[in-house]
Amino acid sequence: MRTTEVSEGIFRLSANVKDILFEGIWPIPNGVAMNSYVVKGKKCAIIDGVCDWDGVPETLFAQLDEMNVKLTDIDYVIVNHMEPDHSGWLRAFKEIRGTFTIYCSEKAKPLLEAFYGIHDDVHVVKSGDTLDLGAGRVLVFQDIPNVHWPETMATYDTLSKTLFPCDAFGSFGSVSDDAPYDDTLTEEQIQFFEREMERYYANIVAAFSHPTKQAIAKLGGIEIKTIAPGHGIVWRKDPGRVIRDYVRLAEYGNGPAKPEVAVIWASMYGMTELGIAPVVEAIEAEGVPTHVYRVPETEMSFVLDAVWKCSGVVLAMPTYEYKIFPPMFAVIDEMFKKRIVRRKAFRFGSYGWSGGAQKELDETMARLRGKWDFIEPVEFKGRPTDADLDLIRERGRELAREVKRWCLAEGGAGSAAE
């Protein structure tokens, strides 16, 4: 663990977290970096926290030592966001440090009380308020509600023109202490974090895409030389790149996204499964890449990632007790909670003594007001016949052509950028 200098007077403190489910739900096989920043003027502020899940880790103190910052030098703690992955250290820090002032938004204040019993020395700020650290360093605060909780704000250092946006512009993926900056990474390594960013976005931020777009618009008038997020790498060579990434990702929910197809399928006894290879071959024969995931074997996190970034979706599942096979229903329900609003789609699947999955899918789409454009489904009793499989191939090709047409016509953020 090593502390590094982002720019003169700004230090990055970070810990990689692994072997947990992020937010208690999302797997992070490549870990995630938890970033905090110490900003020094004549006075010293720490922005967000280097969190252990149980409180202040030893690493925080070791890192402060590396910067020649004593605990008692920290005058201010800026709480951009109250989710405990960033704020979970506060109670322990309060006990150790004692005297410091917390700067946070109005909506964060009751959460400080609720989560940590902290109510003293809390200074509420609103957009445009400032904190002068001395030596020419002034911090400005900007509310960015719902990126990711309603209380979230961003902090901007006017001296270095560094933006500290917490969850926004973040990604999954452990970050090497030797190379935490885009200018110290190879293009291949940056692309790794951009891939991790897609699943992070689909899992954590997707439901808040509208506020994310509003936040990006609000921050649009500010000169930004560096973006120092709460997760992932620091962008100081090309901060515009991660802004463009987030603009693209925020648009995916309304589509079109990438000109690709997510094939999400479930099968009880292998009957529906018989259609998977034919539909994948048919889609790919049209030159459209596929991402194939079986449910419930694949964790929701990866399914959402695929559906978020693909303009086309195949839902293949059987009827179970007159309804959609339950693990697929859970996935479909979550897709709508993540506001995957528009897609080109095709559904097929098997039934036994009775159908019902298609009826429930139609009802669910109507109830959730999904603007998914489905081509005609294919349902079969028991094992699919050769004619059924031919029909699945035909519909797969039709879906692929629809996806290509849509991406070409509306030029989506995804198709333009890829």
Q: How far is the CB of 89 from ligand FEO (least distance, A)?
A: 13
Q: How far is the CB of 212 from ligand FEO (least distance, A)?
A: 12
* Beta strands at 323-324 and 310-316: parallel, antiparallel or unpaired: unpaired
Q: Does 338 bind ligand FEO (CB under 6 A)?
A: no
What residues between 138 and 157 interact with ligand FEO by CB under 6 A? 148
Helix H or strand E encompassing 292: strand 290-294
Q: How many CB atoms lie within 10 A of CB 333?
A: 13
Q: Between 83 and 198, whose beta carbon lies closer to ligand FEO? A: 83
Q: How far is the CB of 111 from ligand FEO (least distance, A)?
A: 12
* Two tokens, residue 265: 């399928």
Report d(CA 216, CA 222) in Å as an integer.
10
Q: How far is the CB of 170 from ligand FEO (least distance, A)?
A: 7
Q: How far is the CB of 230 from ligand FEO (least distance, A)?
A: 5
Catalogue the E-assigned strands of 88-193.
101-105, 122-125, 130-134, 137-143, 153-157, 162-164
Q: How far is the CB of 30 from ligand FEO (least distance, A)?
A: 16
Q: How far is the CB of 23 from ligand FEO (least distance, A)?
A: 8
Measuring CA to CA, how many Å separate 400 from each of 113, 255, 260, 273, 303?
52, 15, 8, 20, 19
Report d(CA 28, CA 26) in Å as an integer.
6
What residues between 73 and 102 interact with ligand FEO by CB under 6 A? 81, 83, 85-86
Report d(CA 241, CA 235) in Å as an integer.
8
Break the chain down into helix, strand, coil percent, rounded to 5: 40, 25, 35
Q: How far is the CB of 244 from ligand FEO (least distance, A)?
A: 21
**Which of 92, 105, 82 lies closest to 60, judged by CA?**
92
Q: Between 216 and 295, whose beta carbon lies closer to ligand FEO? A: 216
What residues between 214 and 243 interact with ligand FEO by CB under 6 A? 230-231
Binding-residue total with ligand FEO (CB under 6 A): 8
In whole angstroms, what separates CA 397 from the centre of its chain?
31
Residue from 151, 167, 305, 402 that binds ligand FEO (CB under 6 A)?
167
Q: Between 200 and 320, whose beta carbon lies closer to ligand FEO? A: 200
Measured N-to-C along each axis, helices 386-410 and 276-285 cross at an angle, to the nearest 10 degrees, of: 40
Q: Between 81 and 258, whose beta carbon lies closer to ligand FEO? A: 81
Q: Between 151 and 379, whose beta carbon lies closer to ligand FEO? A: 151
Measured N-to-C along each axis, helices 108-116 and 90-97 cross at an angle, to the nearest 10 degrees, of: 80
Q: Between 46 and 314, whose beta carbon lies closer to ligand FEO? A: 46
Footprint of ligand FEO on this chain (CB under 6 A)?
A: 81, 83, 85-86, 148, 167, 230-231
